[in-house]
Structure 1
Amino acid sequence: MAFQRTVDFFASQPVRVSAVLRVPLIVLILVLVSVWEVDHWLPEVYAVIIGVYAVAAVVWLVVVLRGPMPRWVEWASTAVDVLVLVALCAVSGGATAALLPVFFLLPISIAFQDRPVLTALLGAATAVGYLVVWIFYSKRDDNVGLPNVVYMHVGFLVWLAVATTALSLVLVRRSARVRWLLEVRRRLVSESARADDIRNAELAEHLHDGPLQTLLAARLDLDEIRERIPDPALDRVRAALQETAAGLRSTVTELHPQVLAQLGLAAAVRELLRQYENRDVVVTADIEDVGQPESQALLYRAARELLANVNKHARATEVSVGLHRKGDRIVLVVADDGAGFDPARVTTSVASGHIGLASLQVRVEANDGTMDIDTWPGSGTRVTVTL
């Protein structure tokens, strides 16, 4: 799961891929500069440019790995790469061998941005620019001609421009397909959840107006009989009726909590936590009044599912529940000091029929939310749901 989160993190913004690829590219240039003798026009300026570029690339990598970046950053970072390439060519006097990796790898780094037109333009400009600086270099020095290998390199660069453009087109189409499939999944899960809510509401109404009312009427009739004919057997029957009625009320509340519709999410979660007051678990609550957000039904279901998992599997002695609003998002946190588990079991348990957490995660993600599970065997569990 940690590996999957890493993959998703890099896939979410192509600028991260470019930032990672840029560092080894600069290292390669530095190695080649140190190995080959380069005929610099301005060697001090060349060293300053490549040094500042290397430091900036490392700092930039740290920045982009810390969080999401605006879309325009991709254009800006590519523009800086091109400017640095032009500056290095200018101060070195031409297309030196130490700059060859930049010409070949720059189009590849831009291909990950899912912008075919930009990829094609940059690829073509790289091929033309490489030929131009070699012509300029050969004209500047009469002892240096225009080697035939330059034309081969230009041909490779043109092919690379076509290949990276095709790659970018494929990535764009696949990304569109993935987005469409995710939207279809979101709609299906949303419709399924809506159907479940309607069914639960109908079932709760049926239980409340049918069997529960029948039990309550039977208990009243039994109370009248007990007043006339005291009998311990009748007391036991009344206790059984009372327990069954309480169980039905609890079921009706779970199926369709009225407090959720009437008082909001915070009150509903507090009511849910009261069920744990008489158990051997210390419950700590930090619940903020978040009103009645559109996602309150799913958040309530998440709190109920997570607390049920703690009760059934965690063997915990302490449970903490937090509910807060952060901007336009609601954050629910349920943590315990129990047994914990291997996060990989969330997916593998589906095959064995245990779909609670996996189903909840699908519902949360389908509603444009996130569900982060931080756990390990013996270290407790912390689940954060953001909607």
Structure 2
Amino acid sequence: MAGHHERAANAPELQLPADSTRRPAFYGLVLQWALRLVLVGYIAITLLLQPPDRDLWFCILTLAGYLAAFGAWTWWVVRTGPASKDITSRRPALCMLAADVALVSLLSVLTGLHSPDNWTSDVLRTGLFLIPVIAAAQLDPFLSGVTAIPTVTAYIVVSWIGQNGNEEPWSSILLNATVLSGLAAGSVALSRIQRSKVETIEELARQRTQLLEDVLGLEKRERQALSERLHDGPLQYVLVARGDLEDVRAGSAPALDLVETALKECSALLRDAVRELHPEILNRAGLKAAIEALADSIAARDDLAVDLDSSTWPADFRTDADHLLYSAAREFTTNVIKHAHANTLRIELRREDGEARLRIIDDGVGISDARLAKSIAEGHIGMASIRTKVLASCGQFDAHATNAGTEVAIVVPLPRD
């Protein structure tokens, strides 16, 4: 049989979509673009309504230089696209945030020095309050924190330079700086919250991809196991019977007996395989009856006592998880019989709070948690199969050693009534 680490030969390579984890960052860049457009419009309208007494053209050239940088940054965002890993690069973001702070600070200082009697500098200075919001849209707490310090510092310095003209008291400057600091701190916290959400989405997407890979690999291993089982069992008896047919045609009575025996064995093996794929009692009488029949067959052994508790499971209750739960019970009880050398075996089947709960506990030799985890990780066909199917059903799987043996617990959600 092929090694457990082998992947499904025909399974497609599953990877996270390139834009599934970077698209939020791209949307953040779009939000930054819109906020910077607001900042440019705010400054342009301010200069238009209340132009400075001197160096208006220098202010216009400064704004034009910023627009050139803004255009280059916009071109970079569009060219990079949401699927590229470069979309989260910090260097372009830092350059543009520095340009934001420099633009507002420089224009505020120029208008404050050259037109101290106008309100232009005071209004432009207020634009610094928009920069922490722009930084927060990057979804990077580091960038938000790095931007907060120069933004608050620039506000204090600009206010101090223009203080002689507008005669604003230091108490007002410090209060406004405190509000700006709070806004900057909030942007850092918001970036951290949004980043944690993005990381959670990335982890869920990674788990989903891993689960799909496990399911595909598991399907191949199960098919291969079934193929080998049919090849080594029923097919060999069929070939033996076919080889004895010449003797039967020649009138040999012993050959006829051999053919009959081979066909009987073949029929028994095929019946066992079909019963294992989908037990007839499970389809006819339901999960509770199937588990009870399984417990009775195990209890027929002289060396193992079985305790079954299925009192909370309705006799006629059917779910989509019936086959999974029965397969789990059969797999783990078989492991107990073969390997645990246990004296007692307890099986619990419960329906509680909209969930199906199956527990199998034995008092055998047990297995260490490390060895159990290694067996699952290496793809043990029975254990890995059940675990993968349980997780694919949004359920919970737990197997661990106890002081008296081993305990396996499975929880599968059921549809609400």
The two structures have a TM-score, normalised by structure 1, of 0.47
The two structures have a TM-score, normalised by structure 2, of 0.44
Q: Which has the larger radius of gyration?
A: 2
RCO higher in structure (CA 8 A, sep ≥6): 2
